[in-house]
Structure 1
Amino acid sequence: MSIMLQDPQIIRFYQKLTDAMVDLWNRSRSMDEIRLYVDGFIACLRFSNQIEPYLIHRLEEEVFAFLRDPSNFSYPAFETEKDYDYF
């Protein structure tokens, strides 16, 4: 997260959005579907007029930077079970 996101409400929106994006990815949603979700969320923030437009713009930049980073959407490497001989 960028140091530019300093407003507590914007930070909470960032956390909610990125958590939701990872959750959608883990539920096998495509990147296009995730982007549509983010676009809708950002549009709702703009429509509400409760947050300054420049803060919404910063949030949008940070969220799309998160979306472009493939390490945020990689599958964890699972450890294989080892067979143990107990005899």
Structure 2
Amino acid sequence: MLHDAQAIRYYQRITDALVDQWNRGYRQEELRHYVDGYIAAMHHASAIEPYLIHQLEAEVLRFFYDPSNFAMVQPEPDPDYR
């Protein structure tokens, strides 16, 4: 679990971007490349401490591999509509 405020903001940015890209038609392999590139850029830029980047990566991968985060929501049929 992330406790650092900056790491939490990065987590929110990455996961929001993953869901947005999924909804635009990108698939799992492409999203995985996105995550890998984002994490590599964070290491290169020394955006946050390395141990926080590793924690962030673990949390993002947990989010990434949870299928419920990428499920398409189906609208409920309106019972009054005929």
Q: Is the shorter-chain TM-score for this pair beyond 0.5, marking a shared fold? A: yes
Structure 1 position 50, deviation (Å): 3.4
Alignment partners' CA distance in 2, 1:50 and 1:13 = 10
Seq. identity, %: 51
Which of the pair has more CA radius of gyration?
A: 1
Deviating runs (4+, > 6 A) in structure 1?
none
Which structure has the higher relative contact order (CA within 8 Å, separation 6+)? Answer: 2
Q: Which moved more, 1:16-25 or 1:46-55?
A: 46-55
TM-score under structure 1 length normalisation? 0.86
Alignment partners' CA distance in 1, 2:66 and 2:38 = 20
Structure 2 portions without partners, runs of 5+: none
Alignment partners' CA distance in 1, 2:49 and 2:58 = 15
Matched, 1:14 2:11: yes
Q: How many residues align?
A: 80
TM-score under structure 2 length normalisation? 0.91
Residue by residue, what CA displacement relative to the aligned partner does 1:48-74 show, whole Å, maximum 9, x if unpaired? Answer: 123111000000000000000000000
Structure 1 portions without partners, runs of 5+: none
